[in-house]
Structure 1
Amino acid sequence: MRLRRPLVALCTIAPLALAAAGCSDSSGGLVTGTDAAGRVSQSVSDPLQGKCSRFAARGVTSVTNNTGVDIVLHRTRDCTDLANQPGTYLGTTLSIVATSGQGPWRSFTTVGWPPPVPPNVPGARIN
């Protein structure tokens, strides 16, 4: 059986177009930081891949990562690490509370690439 060229081209291009539509530069979800008094000081919706996201200037001591990617928490506002004090790794859909002498965290970066669809969490939205 012989296939026509337009059909072959469509069958070749369609999967590529669908794969490209699933790609995104955001991690789909919400990162929430809470200060020592228990007040939500910042919520970052759909943080961008490869960009530094900042918390409030005073920093946060508790963070919940409701995104589809892991994050690294930093003590500086520019997502760098202090000497001999590496950032704190926080996996997707996990939370962390700073121990004495550990926080506050003032920024975070994403790790890896986002899934094509945000995780099923409150506040997540599909772009």
Structure 2
Amino acid sequence: MSLHRRLTIATGAALLSLAVAGCSGLGRSAVGTISYETGREVGVRVTSPSVNGCHRLAPAGATKIENSTLVDLVLYRTRDCKGKDSTYVASNTGDEIAPDTLPWRSYTVVH
């Protein structure tokens, strides 16, 4: 086998490895359950949400949350996961809004 052909095969294998590694997180989920209570005192459970993107909470928003997943969350008071008024909730912990504050309306997964 010629040196040129071996280099081509080695380069192809390296590029394939990088491509697979780059796509490995596309279908991943946060293993576990996120439970929250809405502003109308309705309980909601989300099982293994995707680690990608912004996730909206119920229209009434969330006033309490329990993060029983293997990853951390960032909660937002807006529907689009933007704004400075965010709250970090570590894996296997929870949080509750302070009295007279807006509920959380969306979250992202820290991965």
TM over 0.5, shorter chain = yes
CA distance in 1, matches of 2:42, 2:54: 22
Query: What's the TM-score once normalised by structure 2's chain length?
Result: 0.69
What is the aligned counterpart of 1:55 among 48, 54, 57? 57
How much does 1:37 deviate?
4.7
CA RMSD of aligned residues (A): 2.2
2:39 and 2:60 in contact (8 A); partners too: no
CA distance in 2, matches of 1:70, 1:101: 25
Unaligned 5+ residue runs, structure 1? 1-19, 113-127
How much does 1:53 deviate?
1.3
Structure possessing the higher radius of gyration over alpha carbons? 2
Query: What's the TM-score once normalised by structure 1's chain length?
Result: 0.61
Correspondence 1:110 to 2:104: no
Share of identical aligned residues, percent? 33
Unaligned 5+ residue runs, structure 2? 1-20
Runs of 4+ off more than 3 Å: none
CA distance in 1, matches of 2:91, 2:76: 16
The number of equivalent residue pairs is: 89
Larger relative contact order (Cα-Cα within 8 Å, sequence gap ≥ 6) = 1
Q: Which residue of 2 aligns with 1:93?
A: 92
Give CA-to-partner distance per residue, 1:19-69, whole Å, 9 cap, x none: x8xx761011111110245321x3221111122111111101001101000
What is the aligned counterpart of 1:31 among 22, 31, 34? 34
CA distance in 1, matches of 2:32, 2:58: 19
How much does 1:102 deviate?
3.4
Which has a greater percent of helix? 2
